[in-house]
């Protein structure tokens, strides 16, 4: 291990064998944290080549369970988001594409920070279960085209240990380390094709577009090197996605979107990602046809029916689809009002996410209990005209003290301008193989 650290410190390129040696040794506990910390810092400072990043991804993927989905018929397509505030995309998108014939065997995680993850959000639904046997998971996907379960703790074990170390050694924000971390888990969970939603902007991991583009290119390359066709879509996180931030509130917004009444930005994101998923899985010939199919699935009610089937398949009570009061409800509401006249020029997603976390919608540390009922619903988005006293957002809360800590940061998230303000960009570019298509 000493020689490997020294080689990377001196800007050498690590071989596949050297990378496997360090990943296997660290997973088994033979190599100590302090040596891996030193290597991570050398990687952080000197960066990794494309070959090194692919080899690191493969070694981390092989460090845990590899999920075998070969009993599932058809081309399996998966989607991953690098994470954002109000990102309830999976809940609407998966039934949408499944209703158009795509096959999605989705493994999702719980959230840390901002709001819950997909699994937490789905647990707002009475009796809904995301833990199931592999047989039941495979049967559901074969019969219904979709299922969502919690991701096994045994997937990409080396990544879990390394991520914990990166977190305390200031080595998280390195493109190769992020790309290999995300892709090792995605590739271990067995899909044939992959859509990546890489977020950029204030509320995202990659605040700068140029960094998001580098990350997207790196992940697409890793996917291609491992024979999994991968398309990345770089999308904006300059303001929260849609209007709802908080677990059961986001479920409502996802269902409203399937009913054709969702916020425009969120609907557009689902349609764009969905059209590419249909294209990749050969359910549509090209983006235009994919878009048309997705729109039709919303208009005809087919996507909503698929969602209902999904809830029933996973043991949930679907009655909430027609009566949202059956989901967890916060006891109180507080209106955040505009202190100015003009146009909303900014809603800092990160501040809204922090506010939701203070209310109890997200975890400050692993294992924290969530309050699934609380959160924020934005009434105004960037570009909207406002007058003093207009309601900007409604905070759903259960605890006065938590409201007090959340209120200030939510109010501070809003900025105004006297001039008209354009809506922030939602879709920046599409990265596929060696092409980048910029979207205007």
CB of 408 to ligand URA, least distance (A): 28
Q: 402 an active-site residue?
A: no
- Indicate which residue of 166, 199, 293, 402 is catalytic: 166
CB of 163 to ligand URA, least distance (A): 6
182 binds ligand URA (CB under 6 A): yes
The Cα 167–Cα 165 span in angstroms is 5
Spatial neighbors of 347 by CB under 8 A, at least 6 apart, are 239, 240, 378, 381, 382, 413, 414
- Indicate which residue of 8, 76, 80, 114 is catalytic: 80
The Cα 428–Cα 438 span in angstroms is 6
Residue 131, phi then psi, degrees to nearest 5: -110, 125
Return the residue of 42, 178, 249, 302 that touches ligand URA, per CB under 6 A: 178
CB of 205 to ligand URA, least distance (A): 6
Q: 387 an active-site residue?
A: no
Q: 185 an active-site residue?
A: yes
The Cα 200–Cα 215 span in angstroms is 11
Residue that is written with structure tokens 């910029």 in the block? 438
Token pair for 290: 């994919």
CB of 295 to ligand URA, least distance (A): 31
Residue 372, phi then psi, degrees to nearest 5: -70, -15
- Indicate which residue of 78, 87, 120, 159 is catalytic: 159
Token pair for 269: 């994101």
Specify the residue, 59 or 177, whose C-beta has the smaller distance to ligand URA: 177
CB of 183 to ligand URA, least distance (A): 9
Task: Please tell me the total number of residues recorded for the chain in this structure.
Answer: 440
- DSSP β-bridge partners for residue 244: 377
* Window contacting ligand URA (CB under 6 A); options: 174-182, 247-255, 263-271, 346-354: 174-182
CB of 334 to ligand URA, least distance (A): 32
* Window contacting ligand URA (CB under 6 A); options: 173-181, 246-254, 302-310, 418-426: 173-181
Specify the residue, 22 or 205, whose C-beta has the smaller distance to ligand URA: 205
Token pair for 291: 């878009």
The separation between CA 240 and the C-alpha centre of its own chain, rounded to angstroms, equals 13
Q: 341 an active-site residue?
A: no
Which residue in the shown chain puts its C-beta closest to ligand URA?
181
Q: Is 199 in contact with 212 (CB distance < 8 Å)? A: yes
- Nearest to residue 253, comparing CAs of 238, 267, 239? 267
Specify the residue, 177 or 233, whose C-beta has the smaller distance to ligand URA: 177
Site for ligand URA in 195-234 (CB under 6 A): 205
Q: 197 an active-site residue?
A: no
DSSP string over 389-403: T-EEEEEEES-HHHH
Specify the residue, 82 or 272, whose C-beta has the smaller distance to ligand URA: 82
181 binds ligand URA (CB under 6 A): yes
Contact set with ligand URA (CB under 6 A): 163, 177-178, 181-182, 205
Which of the residues are catalytic? Answer: 80, 159, 166, 181, 185
């Amino acid at each position: 291990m000493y020689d490997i650290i020294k080689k990377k410190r001196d800007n050498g390129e690590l071989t596949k064998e050297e990378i496997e040696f360090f990943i296997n040794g660290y997973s088994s506990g033979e190599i100590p944290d302090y040596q891996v910390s030193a290597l991570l810092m050398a990687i952080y400072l000197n960066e990794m080549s494309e070959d090194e990043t692919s080899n690191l991804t493969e070694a981390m993927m092989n460090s845990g369970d590899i999920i075998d989905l070969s009993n599932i018929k058809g081309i399996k397509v998966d989607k991953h988001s690098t994470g954002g505030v109000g990102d309830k995309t999976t809940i609407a998108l998966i039934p949408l594409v499944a209703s158009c014939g795509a096959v999605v065997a989705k493994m999702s995680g719980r959230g840390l920070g901002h709001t819950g993850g997909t699994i937490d959000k789905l647990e707002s639904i009475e009796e809904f279960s995301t833990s199931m046997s592999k047989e039941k998971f495979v049967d559901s996907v074969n019969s219904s085209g979709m299922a969502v379960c919690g991701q096994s703790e045994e997937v990409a074990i080396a990544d879990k240990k390394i991520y914990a170390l990166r977190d305390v050694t200031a080595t998280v924000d390195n493109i190769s380390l992020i790309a290999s971390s995300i892709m090792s888990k995605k590739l271990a969970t067995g899909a044939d094709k992959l859509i990546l939603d890489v977020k950029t902007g204030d509320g995202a991991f990659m605040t700068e577009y140029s960094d998001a583009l580098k990350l997207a290119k790196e992940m697409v390359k890793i996917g291609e090197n491992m024979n999994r066709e991968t398309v990345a879509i770089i999308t904006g996180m300059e303001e929260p996605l849609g209007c709802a931030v908080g677990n059961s509130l986001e479920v409502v917004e996802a269902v409203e979107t399937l009913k054709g009444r969702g916020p425009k930005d969120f609907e557009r994101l689902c349609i764009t990602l969905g059209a590419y998923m249909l294209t990749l899985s050969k359910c549509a010939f090209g983006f235009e046809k994919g878009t048309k199919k997705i729109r039709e699935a919303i208009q005809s009610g087919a996507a909503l029916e698929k969602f209902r089937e999904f809830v029933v398949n996973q043991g949930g009570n679907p009655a909430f689809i027609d009566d949202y009061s059956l989901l967890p409800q916060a006891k109180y509401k507080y209106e955040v009002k505009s202190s100015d006249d003009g146009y909303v020029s900014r809603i800092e997603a990160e501040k809204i996410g922090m506010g939701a976390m203070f209310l109890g919608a997200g975890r400050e540390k692993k294992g924290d209990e969530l309050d699934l009922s609380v959160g924020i619903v934005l009434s105004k988005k960037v570009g909207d005209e406002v007058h003093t006293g207009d309601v900007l957002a409604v905070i759903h809360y259960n605890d006065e003290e938590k409201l007090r800590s959340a209120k200030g940061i939510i109010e501070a998230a809003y900025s105004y301008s006297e001039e008209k303000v354009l809506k922030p960009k939602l879709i920046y570019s599409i990265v596929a193989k060696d092409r980048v298509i910029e979207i205007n």
